[in-house]
Structure 1
Amino acid sequence: MGVASRRKAEELILEGRVVVNGKTAVLGMKADPERDHIRVDGKLLRGSEPKVYIILNKPPGVLTTLEDTEGRPTVQQLLGKLRFRVYPVGRLDFNSEGLLLLTNDGDLAYRIIHPSHKIPKTYLVKIKGVIEEKDLSKLRKGIRLDDGMTAPAKIKRVRAPRAEKNSWLEVTIYEGRKRQIRRMFERVGHTVLKLKRIRIDGLGLGELKTGQWRYLDEVEVKKLKKGLKM
């Protein structure tokens, strides 16, 4: 593992202090610091491979994972074969779409995901029915879900065709719980019909079409890191 003898490494694993690609390591698990995200007591082991940053416009009906035992479509299939292994930063559920970052930079991924850094993620949301202002106020202040109170959110209405009997909203949250936005609106009686992430901090989709991806350029990476205070 690069930080200890084999015996010491086994002790660390048995004590649950080693995490590989977000999962607690077990004896016999294979991992390579050059390709995998390995943390010991929360500290990332650094490999020598160059850091790679990819932005993908995820379509609905695709899993935010690299493989699936049930054979469902994954983002890995959209990326094809890459020279370096990258991992999704956070999640977009199966039916959601939009901006997804993938990288082998564990520090950057951690800063985006962890709620203590309060990185804004902005979504375009279509909900069933016309939501009342009092319910928007509740969501903006924070609302209690099964896993606790949500942090305050920014929500503004987006103008929709007059004939449409649904609501379009732009929602910015600063945490990333599982199905958080869908659960927030369900809590006030509205079903989410469409959910698309359009920005992470200052990084937007731009002209990237659904299903397409590209590498971030040096300027974009520097701007992203500046926002993350790296």
Structure 2
Amino acid sequence: MKIRLQKRIADSGHCSRRKAEVLMTEGKVKVNGEVVTTLGTKVNEKAKIEVDGKKISFPKVQITVALNKPAEYISSKFDPNNPKTIMDLLPKELQLLKPAGRLDKDSEGLMILSSDGALIQKLTHPKHEHTKTYEIIIKGYAKDKDLAILTKGKIKLDGYTLNPMEFRIIKTLKDRKTLVEIKLNEGRNRQIRRVMDSIGFPVIYLQRTAIGQFDLGDLDKGDHKILTDADIKNALS
């Protein structure tokens, strides 16, 4: 069975399908030693594919894990300016997995990592609009009327009008703090923190508890679990 070259590259986890298309048009992709620039070119599973001179490898079995990222760990595989990365939390055999999205250094909670490029695309591409759920602690005693603006779809960030968000005040805490659940279907850089700052309720704690139907469950901070095919199928259904 033959599939489109850009999809084959994305399925390897090397990059997104769109990025693969860019690499192809730039002449950086070879199939069986020949440069391929035509989008839509189809290849079989045995084709030798190179990107930027490096052979693309394909895992025989796709692996996907859920990780409960602690604060202070960055979501990148490597950063010379940050000694703690999420890869430090995984055994060596899982350190080639790629994250489906990110959490900033100060935040914690659910991350999905996978060798399945197609799954990563499904979880990260805006067209799929997977709802992400967070629990945050904010400074100040907030009431529903104080946070109602979040649901209006009128807040702008970097010149972009954000989609409406859902919120639920869980409870008030001592020292003038409030625990709130936030749901959104996009994920701009530090979106929740910046939005809450802009309406006068700075975030002092942020945890992602779910990505679509994938949830944190009872996964301890810093731990991971391998997801079964059934887990993934149920979460995407």
The verdict on a shared fold, with TM-score over 0.5 as the criterion, is yes
Decide whether the 8 Å contact of 1:115 with 1:176 is kept in 2. no
Give yes or no for contact 2:100–2:111 (8 Å, CA) kept in 1: yes
In structure 1, which of residues 135, 149, 152 is the aligned counterpart of residue 164 of structure 2?
152
142, 145, 155: which one pairs with 1:134? 145
Deviation at residue 80 of structure 1 after TM alignment: 2.5
Deviations 1:12-61 (A, max 9, x none): 8xxxxxxxxxxxxxx98454322xxxxxxxxxxxx353111100000000
> Please, which runs of 5 or more residues in structure 2 have no aligned partner?
1-8, 10-28, 39-49
Deviation (angstroms), 1:190: 1.7
RMSD: 2.5
- Shift of the 30–159 alpha-carbon distance from structure 1 to 2, 3 Å rule, reads farther
Q: Which residue of 2 aligns with 1:177?
A: 188
Residue 69 of structure 2 is matched in structure 1 by 58
Structure 1 stretch displaced more, 130-139 or 200-209:
130-139
- Which of 66, 86, 89 matches 2:100? 89
Q: Note closer, same or farther for the CA distance 1:66–1:30 as it changes in structure 2 (3 Å cut).
A: farther
Aligned to 1:190, the other structure's residue is in SS state coil
Tell me the amino acid that sits aligned with residue 8 of structure 1. V
| Percentage of pairs with the same residue | 31
Matches within 5 A, 1:67-82: 67-82=78-93
Deviation at 1:188, TM superposition (A): 0.7
The alignment partner of 1:159 has SS state of strand
Task: Select which of 115, 121, 136 maps to 2:126.
Answer: 115
Q: Shift of the alpha carbon at 1:88? A: 0.7
TM-score normalised by length of structure 2: 0.76
Residue 194 of structure 1 pairs with residue 217 of structure 2: no
Q: Conserved in 1, the CA contact under 8 Å of 2:150 and 2:165?
A: yes
Cα distance change of structure 1 residues 206 and 28 upon mapping to structure 2, 3 Å threshold: closer
CA 1:145–1:8 in 2, change beyond 3 Å: closer, same or farther? same
The two structures have a TM-score, normalised by structure 1, of 0.78
Q: What is the SS of the residue equivalent to 2:113?
A: strand
SS in 1 for 2:172: coil
Cα distance in 2 for residues equivalent to 1:63 and 1:185? 22
Closer/same/farther in 2, CA of residues 144 and 71 from structure 1, 3 Å limit: closer
Distance 1:102 1:165, change over 3 A: same
Q: How far, CA to CA, are the matches of 2:30 and 2:146 in structure 1?
A: 52
Contact 2:213/2:236 (8 A) holds in 1:
no
Q: Which runs of 5+ in 1 are unaligned?
A: 13-26, 35-46
- Tell me the matched-pair count: 200
CA distance in 1, matches of 2:102, 2:32: 35
Note the C-alpha offset of 1:78. 0.6
Cα deviation, residue 68, structure 1: 1.5
